Amino acid sequence: MRVFLSGPMGSGKSTIARLLGERLGLAVIDLDERIQARASRSVAEIFADSGEAAFRHLEADVLGELLADTQDAIVSLGGGTVTVPELRHRLLFEGTLVTLDADLDVLVRRVGSGKGRPLLAGQDIRARLTALLAQRAEAYAECHARVDTGRLSVQQAVEMVADLAGRELVTVPLGRRTYPVEVGSGVRHRIVEFLAGRRVVLVTDENVGPRWGVNIADTLRNAGSDVALVTLPAGEAHKHVRSVEAIWDQALSAGVDRHAFVVAVGGGVVGDLAGFAAATLLRGVAVGHVPTSLLAMVDSSVGGKTGFDTRQGKNLVGAFHQPSFVLADVDVLETLPDAERVAGLAEVVKSAWIEGEREVSALERDAEALRAGEPQATSDAIRMACRMKARVVTLDEREAGLRAILNLGHTVGHAIEAAQDYRLRHGECVALGMVAACRLSVRLARMAAQDADRMTALLHRLGLPTDVTPHLTDRTLSFLSADKKRSGDAVRYVLPGAPGDIELRKLPLRELASLLRM
């Protein structure tokens, strides 16, 4: 366990780090002390002699060395450490990053005269702190959680951070739009922390509603929320604009305003429809996800893609609209049919292959446990997939380039879905699409045959279909031209290599169809 404490000067980082270390039995590291030991000078002297830019460079070097050491520890960061995006994102993905905060009056009182704090030297303390907080607002927002040390006792703050560290939170860092993805048993109950007392439009479907949707709606009502429950017909066949209209109509009839919150409780279809409705309702209201399928937990609930199908293809109309939270409760998977749960593992394999050897090896090790639905193995796999997606979305939120690698297996997979009139499960089609991608990559000398065999074997061990040849019909290939990644007469195709080695390559549609048929 590694916990990084960030926040402005006066927020209590050093004190809470020391007490948290005692609470958890972990070493405590003060980054400024490490820097001073390296430079044989105080932080104030480094600023005075060399300036802030030189200090930040030294700070990055020392923190890099600290991160290379895999020991568990509590690390108290400098107030400006997280202003460097590369360092901040590394902290987010290598431990639990908590921003400590307090009201301005509290911070001013705590820093006193500002002695020993070079960024405050010789300046009006309140004005300078106000400016620093404004400059760093986006950076401080990108964290796993914020803890207000001005409103809590020191011991309460320590206990809160200890609880956060134990949750293994995933965060999608997007500045002030940063949101948490929490995975685990019973996490759906945390919805009241986000929505107690709010006006909520809860969207579910006829399959999920009776078991989970109504229960969550009642939980929110008991917490003082005004809830309008929208129950849609279940299944991909109903992922069309008429379902979106049903959400709009019921929400507006309930008198929602721009402070309302749309919540999706269901699988990927419900999430996509609710997300699009939220993106367009009153020109945009907040949305949160409580995914109830494995597929939705590892893919559609994270990243902000929303939309619906048309007769020309899948998800061809939509919008980017990031959620405010995602609560992936593995308990709800107990009621999911085995075939549905297993289908979701296709996206897990995709995620692991994008990540690299360690993640693929972990899936191979846990394949039987994952196929059986063992909770810990499933939770670990969901977190891995969400972390991967969070990293990619942070770098390319709207799929201008890199994010397209998340479509590994989807070009042919979506074509198979459309050709089969959406009778096959999305995950099953993605698995077949990944086999097709391997076949194509081998034929283009991009992938070694043994790596293609390895991916196919892993998909098979997890219970997913791998015989793609019968599906490569003229009807299926005709849907390739409807792919969202098409540009003119070519498609940006995702070609896998060894684990962690993924390439986007523009391929003419005619050549693509010919290679797939070989």
Rounded (10°) CA dihedral 417, 421, 423, 424: -10
Predicted pLDDT at 485: 67
Q: Tell me whether residue 99 is in a domain.
A: yes
Active-site position among 347, 355, 359, 428: 347
Pairing of strands 326-329, 179-184: parallel
Using DSSP's 3-state secondary structure scheme, residue 80 falls into coil
Based on the residue annotation, tell me whether 89 is a catalytic residue of this protein: no
Residues 154-203: tens digit of each pLDDT:
999 999 999 999 998 999 999 999 999 999 999 999 999 999 999 999 99
Based on the residue annotation, tell me whether 364 is a catalytic residue of this protein: no
Find the CATH number of the domain harbouring 91: 3.40.50.300
Q: Write down the pTM of the prediction.
A: 0.90
Tally of structural domains, the chain: 3
Predicted pLDDT at 513: 86
Q: Tell me whether residue 172 is in a domain.
A: no
Distance CA 17, CA 74 (A): 6
Based on the residue annotation, tell me whether 56 is a catalytic residue of this protein: no
Active-site position among 136, 198, 305, 314: 305
Predicted pLDDT at 484: 62
Active-site position among 355, 399, 417, 428: 399
- Do residues 39 and 145 share a domain? yes
Query: Residue 326 in contact with residue 288, Cβ under 8 Å?
Result: yes
Distance CA 307, CA 293 (A): 18
Q: Tell me whether residue 408 is in a domain.
A: yes
Active-site position among 426, 439, 446, 492: 426
Based on the residue annotation, tell me whether 414 is a catalytic residue of this protein: yes
Long-range Cβ pairs for the range 465-472 (8 Å, 24+): 465/428, 465/431, 465/432, 466/431, 466/432, 466/435, 467/432, 467/435, 468/412, 468/416, 468/432, 468/433, 468/435, 468/436, 468/439, 471/416, 471/419, 471/420, 471/432, 472/412, 472/436, 472/516, 472/517
> Which DSSP helix (H) or strand (E) runs through 60?
helix 52-68
Based on the residue annotation, tell me whether 399 is a catalytic residue of this protein: yes
Find the CATH number of the domain harbouring 285: 3.40.50.1970
Query: Residue 221 in contact with residue 368, Cβ under 8 Å?
Result: no
Task: Please report, for residues 305, 435, 500, 508, the alpha-carbon distance to residue 389 in angstroms, rounded to integers and kept in the order given.
Answer: 12, 21, 14, 28
* CA angle centred on 30, ends 128 and 36, rounded to 5°: 80
* CA angle centred on 220, ends 217 and 225, rounded to 5°: 115
* CA angle centred on 172, ends 66 and 374, rounded to 5°: 90
Based on the residue annotation, tell me whether 305 is a catalytic residue of this protein: yes
Active-site position among 117, 321, 414, 484: 414
Based on the residue annotation, tell me whether 347 is a catalytic residue of this protein: yes
For the chain, list residues with pLDDT below 50.
none
DSSP per-residue string spanning 347-410: HHHHHHHHH-HHHHHHHHHHHHHHHHT-HHHHHHHHHHHHHHHHHHHHH-TT-SSGGGGGGTTH
Active-site position among 2, 239, 289, 389: 389
- Do residues 162 and 188 share a domain? no
- Do residues 31 and 132 share a domain? yes
- Do residues 188 and 158 share a domain? no
The boundaries of the domain holding residue 49 are: 2-166
Based on the residue annotation, tell me whether 177 is a catalytic residue of this protein: no
Active-site position among 86, 283, 311, 334: 283
Where is the domain boundary, 302, 336, 370? 336
Query: Residue 434 in contact with residue 422, Cβ under 8 Å?
Result: no
Residues 392-415: tens digit of each pLDDT:
999 999 988 889 999 999 999 999
